[in-house]
Copies of this chain bind each other. A is one copy, B any other.
Amino acid sequence: MASSGRTYRGVDVASRRAHRRAALLDAALEEFTTTGYRASRIADICTRARVSTRTFYEEFEGKQDVLLVLHDRVNDLALSHVRHALGTVLETDAVTRIGTLLDAFVAAVTADPRLPRLAYVEAVGVSPALEAQHQRWVTRWAEFIAAEAARAAEHGLAPRRDYRLTGIALVGAVTGLLRAWQAGNPPEPVAVIADEIKSLMSAAITRQA
């Protein structure tokens, strides 16, 4: 019955697996954002990860599966940063909160230029599954923004109305800006992007129209 697995070099089965999986994800991120998702080959990802193709199929269903995981990761990463940042300004005015939210988001996603490239370019139009995942995230972010807007409205800083569409538009604005940013050679300073977004968002929310 056996073995729940043998220990090698002091690490158990689970850790070795986790390590290989992480190596594959790292390698895939690199391949996808340099070679491009469509053109990148599984064999190359494996070579870069110093892992065999067999191992690849032990961890993932296929290329798309990896992309799905990476796409979620980028968004999860950003979300956790944003949540943490917002937690530090609980009692502040709405405008400050929105600024904090965006600074955290932009900082998280631009820390590695490969992230926006993956999420806003490579992961688009790949498959219905990915489009669905994209939509879920857009909705989530839009609701996040709408919630902050509602909070601003509570304080009389913005009109009371449904901010969901505005949220989607703003997510699109951020996406467009970051897509352009990652394509830039050399990239613009991130602060410029962040300022534009912050200013745009607060104008969008406080407008009376």
Chain A residues close to B by CB (< 8 Å): 36-38, 121-128, 131, 135, 138, 165-166, 168-177, 179-180, 183, 192-193, 196-197, 199-200, 202-204, 207, 209
Contacts and interface: CB of A to CB of B under 8 A. Distances in A.
Given A124-B125, A209-B203, A172 B168 contact: no
13 contacts: A36-B127, A121-B125, A121-B131, A124-B124, A131-B183, A138-B176, A138-B180, A166-B196, A168-B177, A169-B174, A203-B203, A203-B204, A203-B207
Contacts of A128: 36
Contact of A177 (B38, B122, B165, B199): B165
A37 B125 contact: yes
A138 B182 CA distance: 14
Tell me the interface secondary structure of chain A in the complex.
helix
A187 to B, nearest CB: 13
Nearest to A32: B125
Contacts of A121: 124-125, 131
A176 B164 CA distance: 13
Given A169-B196, A172-B176, A200-B207, 4 more contacts: A169-B176, A170-B173, A199-B209, A207-B207
Given A173-B173, A175-B172, A196-B165, A125 B36 contact: yes
Nearest to A179: B172
Contacts of A183: 131, 135
Contacts of A199: 207, 209
Contacts of A125: 36-38, 121-126
Contacts of A202: 209
A112 B171 CA distance: 24
Nearest to A132: B183
Contacts of A176: 138, 168-169, 171-173, 175-176
